[in-house]
Amino acid sequence: DGGITQSPKYLFRKEGQNVTLSCEQNLNHDAMYWYRQDPGQGLRLIYYSQIVNDFQKGDIAEGYSVSREKKESFPLTVTSAQKNPTAFYLCASSMAGEKLFFGSGTQLSVL
């Protein structure tokens, strides 16, 4: 089955620690995205990538980093500079101009 896989489903971060959220897709989509979702708010774009080895900042990129070394993979690192990381993180992918397909999300919490 084609789709987007996010792992882990739940993740805990200690103070000062970097953590990486995984996102893999086998849909052969060119574009991939990371969104952050907070309770009572819509999704906010963190980073997006249209092609391999290229990515752009979204609205709330500070404290996050990404890489796009392979078409199928777009990992998100939440760095220690992100002071309020607790949120639900959603990865998505699409072909250009087409709808977004979403993963099932990762809930990140701070210990």
Partner 1 sequence: AQSVTQPDIHITVSEGASLELRCNYSYGATPYLFWYVQSPGQGLQLLLKYFSGDTLVQGIKGFEAEFKRSQSSFNLRKPSVHWSDAAEYFCAVAPNNNNDMRFGAGTRLTVKP
CA–CA dist 24, 52 (Å, integer): 13
Pairing state between β 31-37 and 43-51: antiparallel
Nearer to partner 1, 49 or 82 (CB): 49
93: closest CA among 27, 41, 46?
Answer: 27
Among 107, 108, 109, 111, binds partner 1 (CB under 8 A): 107
Q: Is position 1 an interface residue for partner 1 (rule: CB under 8 A)?
A: no
Q: Where in 34-93 is the site for partner 1 (CB under 8 A)?
A: 35, 40-45, 48, 50, 56, 88, 90, 92
| Minimal distance, residue 6 CB to partner 1, in Å | 8
Q: Is position 11 an interface residue for partner 1 (rule: CB under 8 A)?
A: no
Q: Which amino acid is at 69?
A: E
Among 11, 31, 52, 60, binds partner 1 (CB under 8 A): 31
CA–CA dist 9, 22 (Å, integer): 10
CA–CA dist 92, 6 (Å, integer): 10
| Minimal distance, residue 16 CB to partner 1, in Å | 28
